Chains A and B, each alone.
Chain A
């Protein structure tokens, strides 16, 4: 792998940038691999990288229907945080945040990680009590949450001029999560792909998997793709919203349903907010990107959806909520809007497990899975390589549903 550094930049500048190596190869598709990963998104690529790096399994193919990093890893709002509710979730996300913070060095790719703090703006007392309770659990696992007053909220976010005593729901305080940050989503996909490629992993774009293949004894034996059959004893499904569509081809049902979550971006403006603002009472969150655009997210569409578009009333609800607290944003134009479909389990926690089909693994149910990419990849690779779940992801098993042992995280994201 060609090292990226100031020196290599200078050297390539002198030769007119004609000698940069390709970030990853395009190898011909082989007939068999040790491990097949379906989906070259964040989780698929991270799993491939850690399989090769931590466990020495390099005979791996990542199969992607479209282009690398073109799915939800390109459609999220790049928020990385660990303020979750449950004992099972918090240490997992704490690990993920710490891996993210070291990722630039680890992958030799600039993640532009900006650890800029998230501020929850709280408008009612039950919510504040709920967040204080979350804080106590988070304290145990090394995440940080801290209550601040209304004045402190307005000091940190001067643009927050709404929500005063005259409003229907005045601000009563805030919670500060200092571990939160944003980074560059393309760098995550490309960085993992490039580093995995350097270790021998193959990336195959425009190689849609049409069906999972099972042997006579029921075990997984490979996949059917548009470019022919590829065999493997271990197959990992990391395809977000399309998980059930794929696993049904192996006769496997999963407790997941697919929904559409939307985001939108304003025109670029001068730096105005340097933290991530979240107001779950009104139903919106946003941060300002390096380009100056406000990246805004809200609640998912009602009902299952395989569309990647945006409904007018979802957009109006979210923007209207934001204007309650930030009336000065009223004249901002919105540049882009998009949706992404993701699947959700009944408890809004992820599923990372080997399924009842031996050799078939799923990593799914990611609602806000962007922040989980490094830890998700590492723990999934551990599970596949060692045949035993990593302690950090053990709880996110499929078995939990058998006992209705839910890890309820509804409400810690925009999931309802």
Chain B
């Protein structure tokens, strides 16, 4: 069970949150991106044994989307960037 640090509600139980996937590359500019770059953006995500940035949604709380950095081995939440998604 994770205690997730919501930017507004602070530490809340994982069951209040919905997982929103790992943070991949930035969305490329559609007018200049090649097909390969676009497919890469849509399909490739980081899969490290260690820290990964991921989105969570405080669905049963304040409703905020935010990014946390979590270790995929220890489940330790290393930091909570208050960055807007």
Residue positions of A touching B, CB distance < 8 A:
242, 244-245, 253, 255-258, 302-307, 311-313, 343, 346, 401-402, 404
Contact = CB atoms under 8 A, between A and B. Distances in A.
Contacts of B42: 346, 404
Nearest to A345: B43
A256 B18 CA distance: 20
A257 B39 contact: no
B47 interface: yes
B43 A401 contact: yes
Nearest to A256: B47
Q: In the complex, which of the residues A303, A401, A404 has the most CB atoms of chain B within 10 Å of its own CB atom?
A: A303
Given A255-B44, A257-B22, A401 B1 contact: no
Given A302-B19, A404-B42, A312 B1 contact: yes
B75 interface: yes
With most chain A CB atoms within 10 A of its CB, the pick from B22, B43, B54, B70 is B43
B79 interface: no
Contact of A306 (B35, B36, B54, B72): B72
B47 A257 contact: yes
29 contacts: A245-B47, A253-B44, A255-B43, A257-B22, A257-B45, A257-B47, A302-B14, A302-B18, A303-B19, A303-B54, A303-B70, A304-B47, A304-B52, A305-B72, A306-B72, A306-B73, A307-B74, A311-B1, A311-B14, A312-B1, A313-B1, A346-B42, A346-B43, A401-B39, A402-B35, A402-B36, A404-B39, A404-B42, A404-B43
B49 interface: yes
B72 A244 contact: no
A304 B54 CA distance: 9
Interface of B: 1, 14-15, 17-19, 22, 35-36, 39, 42-45, 47, 49, 52, 54, 70, 72-75
A305 B75 contact: yes
Given A245-B47, A258-B47, A311-B1, 9 more contacts: A242-B49, A257-B45, A302-B14, A303-B70, A304-B54, A305-B75, A306-B73, A312-B1, A313-B1
Nearest to B52: A304
Q: Is the interface of B mostly helix, strand, loop or mixed?
A: mixed
Contacts of B73: 306-307
A302 B43 CA distance: 19
A87 to B, nearest CB: 22
Contacts of A313: 1, 14-15
Nearest to A253: B44
A307 B49 contact: no
